[in-house]
Structure 1
C-alpha cells in the first residue's frame, strides 16, 4: 500500500489507523512524505510502516512513483493521506482484480460523509464526489488515484505517473493505459475523505485541474495516434460528459447574456432559459442533494454547482487555448510522459 503525504497531520493518523484495521492486512505500507513541514513524519513514526522522506517537495506523482518502486508486492494500492479506508476496502480491491482478469485498474468511491466535518463547502464537495463516483460504478473511462489498486505489471507497463504534473496526473495516467485493460469503479470500495472546506481554495483547485485536464486529456485526444506497436494504442482518452458540458455552457452563457436585458426586458428570457439548461443538466445531482440534506442545502448546492461550472468553464477555455497553441506549434508541445522510477 502506497500513501503519498504532504502536510496532512490532521488526517494521516486516521488514514493509517484505517489501513491497519483492514480485514485483509496489507503486506506492506509505504508512506512517502513529500517534504512536509508539519508533524506528519512524527505521526507516521508511531506506526509500523516504511517512511520515505523527500528533502524537497516533488509533487504527488513523484511520491507515488517512489512508493511503487519501493514496494515488493504484485498489487499496488494507492490511497491518499486524507482518506480513511472502510475496513474491507483492500479485500474488495483484491477480489475485484481476481474476479475480473481483464481489469487493469480498480478504484473506489468516497463515502457520503467526510472524514472530518468542517463546514458547508466540504459538505457540498463530499456529497458531489460521492454522487459522481457512485454513478460511475462499473466499467469506467478514466482513472482516479485517491483510492485505487492495480497490478504492478500494469503500473510498470503504463510507465508510472508524469512527474511534471501536479494536478490531473491520475487522469493523464489513464490516457496511457492500454485499451486491453478495463478500468472498474467499485461502489463497495469506500473511503471517508477530508476534503477542501473553504470556498476560494475549492475554486482555485477546480481552476487548476481544469487547466491541466485540457492539457493532459484534450490535447491527447487531438494528438496523432501512437504507432501500432506501442502499448497505449487503442485507448480513447477520457470521455466527454455531455451533461457537464451542457451545465457549463448554460451557466457561462447565462452570465454572458445578462447585459441583453439592457436592450430589452423581453430578452431576460435568454439568461433565464440558459439557467434552465443548467438546472436540467444537473437535476439528478440536485435531486440527490435534496433527498440527503433537505431544501436549504439544495439552494446552497445549486449555488455551489453554478460557481463550479463557471470556474471549470474558465479553466477549460484557457486550457484548450493553450493546448491549441501547443498543437499548432510542435516545438512547444508537452513531451511524452516520464517512465516509472524503478
Structure 2
C-alpha cells in the first residue's frame, strides 16, 4: 500500500434485497474515503435490485445463474481494480467513516489481513421484535469478542487485494458457512480483527422461523470444519456460549423428568439455570438497554435460539459419522474460477 490513498473496491453481493440495497449503496456513496470503486454483484434477483443500483449510478455485474454469496464475492473480485477490497452485504449500511477507518488500520499493521465491522445494537430497518432481539444478541456477542478473531465477518470487511489473492477464493460449495472456512484459512497466514471502530447497521432477520432455520443450518454445517481443525473459531465462539446452548438443549431433553416428581424436575431446572448463567452478562446488557419486560421476551427467544443452535450441532455430529460426503464439505473448491463464472456486466 505505497499510495497514501489506494483505490478501494467495494463489492456488494445481492440477491433480492432491493429495499436495504438502496440504503447500503447510499451509505457507500457517502463515505469520507476516496477513491472508491463500487460494484454490485446481482445474483439473479427477481425484485428491482438492479434498477435500484442503476438509478444510483452504480455499476452492476450480473450472474447467469444463482451462485450464492461466496460465488458472488468471487465474481466481484474478478472485476475489481482496487488495491483494497471491501465486501459489504446488501443488507448492511456502513457509517460514513467506516472505509477510512478500516483502510487506516490495514495501513498501520502490514501483518493484518482483514478488518471486520461490528454492527450497531439497533437494526437498520426495524421490522419486528425478533429483529430487535437479533440486533441486540448479535451486537453483544460480537462486541464482547472485539479484537483478534479467526471467524470472518464478511457482512462488512476490508482486506488488501494481495491477501485475498494469497488466501484464495471463497468456497462456493458452502452456502451458509463460507465465512468460517475463509476465516480459518486467512488466519493461518495473517491477523484478523473485529472492531467497533468500523461501525455499521444491519437489517437482521425479522421472522423467527427464518432465523432459526439459518442458525440450525449453520450449526450443522460447521461440524466437519471443527472436527477437521479440532478447535472452534477464535474469539466469537466461546465455551460459555457453547455451554449455554448445550444446557438449553439439555433442559428440553430432560423436561419429561418432571413427571417423576421434585427430584426429576431438578434436572431440567438445573440445565435451564446453567444456560441462563452462561449468558448472564448479555441479559444484564439487555436489561440496561430495554428494561425488564423486553428482557422476558428476549430471554424466551434466546432460549429457543440456544436450543436450535445445539440441535443443529447435534444433527451435524450425526451426519458427520454417517456421511463421507459431509465430512469432505470443507475440501478446497478447486473448480471455482471467478472470471469464468458466467457473468454479464451492465
* TM-score > 0.5 by shorter chain: yes
Quote the RMSD (CA, aligned, Å).
Answer: 1.7
For 2:211 and 2:84, how far apart are their aligned partners in 1? Answer: 33
CA contact 1:127–1:289 (8 Å) conserved in 2: yes
Unaligned residue ranges in structure 2 (runs of 5+):
1-9, 340-346
Find the counterpart in structure 2 of residue 48 from structure 1. Answer: 57
CA contact 2:171–2:178 (8 Å) conserved in 1: yes
Find the counterpart in structure 1 of residue 315 from structure 2. Answer: 318
> What SS is found at the alignment partner of 1:311?
helix
CA contact 1:64–1:161 (8 Å) conserved in 2: yes
Find the counterpart in structure 2 of residue 154 from structure 1. Answer: 163
For 1:131 and 1:331, how far apart are their aligned partners in 2? Answer: 32
TM-score (norm. length: structure 1) = 0.91
Find the counterpart in structure 2 of residue 28 from structure 1. Answer: 37
Q: Deviations over 1:277-327 (max 9, x none)?
A: 01100101111111111101111111111001111111111112222345x
Shift in Å, 1:331: 10
Find the counterpart in structure 1 of residue 4 from structure 2. Answer: none
CA contact 1:219–1:324 (8 Å) conserved in 2: no
> What SS is found at the alignment partner of 2:303?
helix
> What SS is found at the alignment partner of 2:66?
coil
Between 1:143-152 and 1:255-264, the stretch displaced more is 255-264
Find the counterpart in structure 1 of residue 238 from structure 2. Answer: 241
CA contact 2:31–2:97 (8 Å) conserved in 1: yes
For 2:135 and 2:219, how far apart are their aligned partners in 1? Answer: 19
Find the counterpart in structure 1 of residue 15 from structure 2. Answer: 6
Find the counterpart in structure 1 of residue 103 from structure 2. Answer: 94
Residues 1:81 and 1:26: Cα distance change in structure 2 (over 3 Å): farther
Find the counterpart in structure 1 of residue 3 from structure 2. Answer: none
Unaligned residue ranges in structure 1 (runs of 5+):
223-235
Find the counterpart in structure 1 of residue 343 from structure 2. Answer: none
> What SS is found at the alignment partner of 2:338?
coil
Between 1:32-41 and 1:259-268, the stretch displaced more is 259-268
Q: 1:337 aligns with which of 311, 318, 333?
A: 333
> What SS is found at the alignment partner of 1:320?
helix
Residues 1:117 and 1:162: Cα distance change in structure 2 (over 3 Å): same
Shift in Å, 1:333: 2.6
CA contact 2:146–2:196 (8 Å) conserved in 1: yes
Find the counterpart in structure 2 of residue 285 from structure 1. Answer: 282
Residues 1:26 and 1:8: Cα distance change in structure 2 (over 3 Å): farther
Find the counterpart in structure 2 of residue 252 from structure 1. Answer: 249
CA contact 1:218–1:323 (8 Å) conserved in 2: no
> What SS is found at the alignment partner of 1:294?
helix
Moved over 4 A (4+): 329-332
Q: 1:105 aligns with which of 103, 106, 114?
A: 114
For 1:190 and 1:126, how far apart are their aligned partners in 2? Answer: 14
Aligned 1:71-82 pairs, distance under 5 A: 71-82=80-91
> What SS is found at the alignment partner of 1:291?
helix
CA contact 2:150–2:184 (8 Å) conserved in 1: no
Shift in Å, 1:44: 0.4
Residues 1:340 and 1:219: Cα distance change in structure 2 (over 3 Å): farther
For 1:185 and 1:117, how far apart are their aligned partners in 2? Answer: 24
CA contact 1:107–1:144 (8 Å) conserved in 2: yes
CA contact 1:156–1:340 (8 Å) conserved in 2: no
Q: What is the aligned residue count?
A: 326
For 2:132 and 2:174, how far apart are their aligned partners in 1? Answer: 28
For 2:76 and 2:275, how far apart are their aligned partners in 1? Answer: 42
Q: Deviations over 1:16-75 (max 9, x none)?
A: 100000011342001000000001000100123220011321110110000011101111
Find the counterpart in structure 2 of residue 307 from structure 1. Answer: 304
For 2:89 and 2:124, how far apart are their aligned partners in 1? Answer: 13
